[in-house]
Amino acid sequence: MIPYSNSFIGYIYALLLLPAIILGLKEKPIKRYGLVATLIGLYFLFGFSQRIIFFFVIQFVLIFGYSYLHKKYKSRWLLRLMILFSISPLVLVKLSPLIDLKTPIAFLGISYLTFRTVQMLIEIYDGLITKINPFEFTYFLLFLPTISSGPIDRSRRFKQDLDRKMTKAEYVVLLREGIHKIFCGIGYKFIIAALISTYWINKIPNTHTLLNTWNYMYSYSLYLFFDFAGYSLLAIGTSYLLGIKTPENFNKPFISRNIKEFWTRWHISLSFWFRDFLYTRLVMLFFKKKLLKNKYALSYIAYLITMGTMGIWHGLEIHYILYGLYHGILLALTDHYQRKSAWFKSVKNNRMWNIVFVIITFHLICFGFLIFSGYLFK
């Protein structure tokens, strides 16, 4: 069953959240009940899922095993080996359609759970995480509101919310914000996205004419935003009611003035995860190895690898890979143009030209979503 997909799941979530709200209003800790609610909610979503249990045990052993080994062996190769073990279930799931492999470990949300574990492995290596609590790790990894599609939280930020003692007044503010986000999410996902799907996308003829393709590009882009942003608001709002201030995932992405800005506004938790744990480390590695003298060329190669990896993360179908490479190329071209163009530097703060930049960027974004949709390859 998919989270936030129907009224029955909404009813179950409401029942599970009610005790959390009472605890918050009484200034009592919510975290222990939060884990209980998470486990009950997972049962309603997935049943007694051996796949999730198997995956959780693997990640649990890896995290605590590496935390112990890292104190004795601070080898980068050990970190790489642990990351390889951590992502291996996800890799098998992604490869299964290509090699006709019936993987017994696939489940909704495996990607986002893997991101959380890899992040912790890297931060253990960096010395940012020195102590891990089994309860807190379990709650962080399986956190019910965000288990299927994020947003992707960070373990240290999550722990800060767990340890924070809120007054009734502080929780009331969080409660109001959470309820507001939930209703906004319902409006985005179940009203606006549903209307776009029913009365726009589904009305477009199947024939691939230029006009139909153009029409589909706009409709799908808007549908994707309202559907995913709606889900994210539901997840974030639900998190707030449990006392966890899950980070925002969207910030008016269609008013971005360039593609670099777009990736600070769209699927923020994912783009920042790739920035911090892949792009930045690739650039540092390239500089250290002195692969090229031109530091900007190294940065652009890192853009291509990072965004290509993001595309592959969505799936191994050609449209996902091209989508990632398309954005990698756009990021590199944007950076190069902004650095080299004297004209751009002279007009970048001009209000009228910024409107033009927004319009151009919007169309570049929509064309990327057209690639992502697979429509061009049907």
- How does DSSP assign 227-275, residue by residue? HHHHHHHHHHHHHHHTT--PPP--S-GGG-SSHHHHTTTSSHHHHHHHI
Provide the 10 A C-beta neighbour count for residue 212. Answer: 14
Spatial CB neighbours of 327, under 8 Å, sequence gap ≥ 6: 259, 263, 307, 310, 311, 368
Catalytically annotated residue among 267, 314, 327, 363: 314
Using CA atoms, how far apart are residues 30 and 165, in angstroms rounded to an integer? 10
> Buried (b) or exposed (e) across 34-67, using 16+ Cβ within 10 A?
bbebbeebbebbbeeeebbeebbebbbebbeebb
Amino acid identity, residue 347? V
φ/ψ of residue 207, rounded to 5:
-70, 135
> Buried (b) or exposed (e) across 117-156, using 16+ Cβ within 10 A?
bbbbbbbbbeeebeebeeebbebbbbbbbbbbbbbbbbbe
Using CA atoms, how far apart are residues 174 and 168, in angstroms rounded to an integer? 10
Structure tokens at 236: 């974030």
- Per the annotation, the verdict on 180 as an active-site residue is no
Amino acid identity, residue 333? L
Using CA atoms, how far apart are residues 238 and 146, in angstroms rounded to an integer? 9
- CA nearest 152: which of 271, 243, 56? 271
Active site residues per annotation: 314
